[in-house]
Amino acid sequence: MTYGKLFEEGRIGALRLKNRVVMPAMGTHMANASGEINDHVIEWYAARARGGVGLIITEVFAVDGVAGRSGPSNPRADSFGFTVMLQRLIDAVHAEGARIFVQLQHPGCQTTKHNNDGNDLLSPSGVRCGILPDTPRALETREIARLVGAFVTSAVNCQIAGADGIEIHGAHGYLVNQFLSPHTNKRTDDYGGTFEKRMRFLDEIVAGIRAACGPVFPIIVRLSVEEFVADGITLEEGVRMARHLEDRGVDVLNISSGIYETMGTIIEPISSEQAWRVHMAAAVKAVVKVPVIAVGVIREPAVAEAVLEKGQADLIAIGRGLIADPDWCRKAEEGRESEIRRCIGCLTCFGEIISGRRITCALNAEAGYEHQYGDVARDGIGRKAVVVGGGPGGMEAARVLAERGFRVVLFEKRAAVGGQLLFGSQPLGKGKIMWFVEYLVAELKRLGVELRVNAEADLETIRKEAPDALIVATGGDPIVPRIPGVDLDHVHTAESVLAGQVVLSGERIVVVGGGLTGCETAAWLASKGNEVSVVEMRDDLCIGVMPINRFDVLGELERQHVAIRTGQSLAGIGKGTVTLKAAATGEVEEVTATAVVLALGVRPSAGLFAAIAKHFPKAKLVGDAVAARRIAEAVGEGHRAARRV
């Protein structure tokens, strides 16, 4: 398919873009603690520019690096001293043919004192962010003037460094958004109350930057046109704000939604539909003449093209899609859609950021490590490689080995490759997981990997292959507890249920295990007409799961009317009952169950590796065969092992 609209020239005033694809601002946590960017940051952006994106908008740069930082490695633009490395970044992006804007931001109340060396958090009215611990204080008028100046100074620094323009972050509940929203702005002076007064802080920033940087230096405003809180900005008012900003000389409107309290509308869970936010951009585009950027789970070129064809936006933001595949644009433009590693929305990237670590990607092991990895060495020169196990770790290992030029044979004991992803894709809203399986299968075929399914490798099989490189990715086996009745016919594993080996309908089911797999399986079974309960020995469900995905699956449990029993463990199984034991008191309870589904995790299946280790001392063990973890660990280990053998 060709994408005539997506890859035609875009324009921002007099500035020309080679296409209409925008990489929006996304935090990386790779800058130095001082706020200076480094070679890791530069190569992160250069890789996306090299991949063909038309416009890059950087992660947030602080306009106040002392008391206005979003995190411990927040880049800064508030001092001229930070422009040297910023200029290197801009030059690297320009060298690859892309344009680059710097996003300027002050977090206001949406940060912590810890991030700001104990300094007070600032906001229009002292309203605390509902999901953060520290209460801000209200800004005095003189402080507002200082912050307007900080935005202007930072914009000037970016212009001097060679940036093509700047974006003011007026969305997602940060300081500018806090002034715009009646949810956080309770002021009664010239900066609050009426619509015009709530707009004043942003108006003064725009006017100040325009005066200092000149009439043709482009300004984008990122705007949450719908906050999804009862007393917040509604789409109707958001559209009015967009029209107001156009009248004030803003060159582009980047249309988003949400604040921290409604985070799932900013960073969406895996279940979100593609392009679900586009109607917001369309509502703005209907009333303005300046270019409008649409964002929101746009993963496939055909979806992006359709948005442009319908006239719903002028530019398309591909965010997490460019984390998963920096070459998204080039592959789409060249008609190589099957080679695009589509983001599945697992939120590994965001989970790492909120945990204080650098950005990574479950599907793309090189994300965040571009500077270290570099290109894959082409040194296989026809040598033989064997991979045992066709889950994500094994398939990624086979892919990289084939890229290196090895002749690769992959053994998979099941009838199809995919491993745990085949089961994990079955619950409600999890279908995108199969995108990664489809990508890996297509890549293995393109690279000439020999797939042997229904083939369980043993020591003798591997010896006959005489491999020069050997990677074992045999995965894990479901944990089955040693309790009375566990071997009864109506007791199943979540894996067997999700694989379709067992079909349950009209049953009273107890799902044992309240982790992510157990909860997703329970909701899925309830949607099939079963009466379902989840039993978890801890005090809550989905402990340790990234909050956005956790809230998503808990909401699905509620919608499917799944009963929840926390603080209880499975003590025994009868023919029509299960016996549960209270963790706190030891009290025993018998519950009716015509079917039992065990979702207690997996344990490593490393027997083959133990058997072959002395015969193949350089063999590598990866994935769940090492320890049961996430896709990210399996893919990362498979990738690294394949680079190093």
- Do 534 and 472 sit in the same domain of this protein? no
Cα gap 257→264, rounded to integer Å? 10
What percent of the chain has a predicted confidence (pLDDT) above 90?
A: 97
Residue 174 annotated among the catalytic residues of the structure: yes
- Do 328 and 388 sit in the same domain of this protein? no
- Do 463 and 532 sit in the same domain of this protein? no
Predicted pLDDT at 72 = 86
For 321, the enclosing helix (H) or strand (E) is helix 320-324
Q: Which two tokens stand for residue 325?
A: 């595949």
Sign (positive or negative) of CA dihedral 633, 635, 639, 645 = positive
Q: Is residue 483 domain-resident? A: no
- Do 308 and 221 sit in the same domain of this protein? yes
Predicted pLDDT at 117 = 86
- Do 587 and 615 sit in the same domain of this protein? no
- Do 528 and 464 sit in the same domain of this protein? no
Predicted pLDDT at 264 = 95
Among candidate residues 330, 346, 372, the one where a domain is terminated: 372
Average pLDDT value for residue range 423-452: 97
Q: What CATH number does the domain containing 178 carry?
A: 3.20.20.70
| Per-residue pLDDT reduced to its tens digit, 15-38 | 999 999 999 999 999 999 999 999
Q: What CATH number does the domain containing 595 carry?
A: 3.50.50.60
Average pLDDT value for residue range 404-428: 96
Cα gap 91→214, rounded to integer Å? 22
| Per-residue pLDDT reduced to its tens digit, 273-307 | 999 999 999 999 999 999 999 999 999 999 999 99
Q: Is residue 3 domain-resident? A: no
- Do 437 and 328 sit in the same domain of this protein? no
Q: Is residue 184 domain-resident? A: yes
- Do 471 and 530 sit in the same domain of this protein? no
Q: Is residue 484 domain-resident? A: no
Q: What CATH number does the domain containing 471 carry?
A: 3.40.50.720
Predicted pLDDT at 196 = 98
Q: Is residue 623 domain-resident? A: yes
| Per-residue pLDDT reduced to its tens digit, 610-619 | 999 999 999 9
Range of the domain at 464: 376-478+604-644
Predicted pLDDT at 478 = 95
Among candidate residues 372, 392, 424, the one where a domain is terminated: 372
Residue 235 CB-density burial (10 A; 0-12 exposed, 13-18 middle, 19+ buried): middle
Q: Is residue 1 domain-resident? A: no
- Do 114 and 201 sit in the same domain of this protein? yes
- Do 144 and 271 sit in the same domain of this protein? yes
Is residue 374 scored above 90 in pLDDT?
no
Among candidate residues 332, 357, 372, the one where a domain is terminated: 372
Question: Residue 290's closest CA among 248, 323, 344, 318?
Answer: 248
* Spatial contact of 641 and 469, defined as CB atoms under 8 Å apart: no
| Helix axes 83-95 and 141-161, enclosed angle (nearest 10) | 50
* Spatial contact of 90 and 161, defined as CB atoms under 8 Å apart: yes
Q: Is residue 529 domain-resident? A: yes
Predicted pLDDT at 382 = 87
Number of domains present in the structure of the chain: 3
Q: Give me the residues paired with residue 184 across strands.
A: none
- Do 295 and 242 sit in the same domain of this protein? yes
Predicted pLDDT at 34 = 94
Cα gap 179→171, rounded to integer Å? 11
Q: Is residue 486 domain-resident? A: no
Q: Which of 45, 174, 191, 369 is catalytic?
A: 174
| Per-residue pLDDT reduced to its tens digit, 483-515 | 999 999 999 999 999 999 999 999 999 999 999
What percent of the chain has a predicted confidence (pLDDT) above 70?
A: 100
Mean pLDDT of the chain, nearest integer: 96
Predicted pLDDT at 104 = 98
Average pLDDT value for residue range 314-334: 98
| Per-residue pLDDT reduced to its tens digit, 558-608 | 999 999 999 999 999 999 999 999 999 999 999 999 999 999 999 999 999
Question: Strands 568-573 and 577-582, how do they pair?
Answer: antiparallel
Assign 77 a pLDDT band (cuts: 50, 70, 90): very high
- Do 469 and 507 sit in the same domain of this protein? no
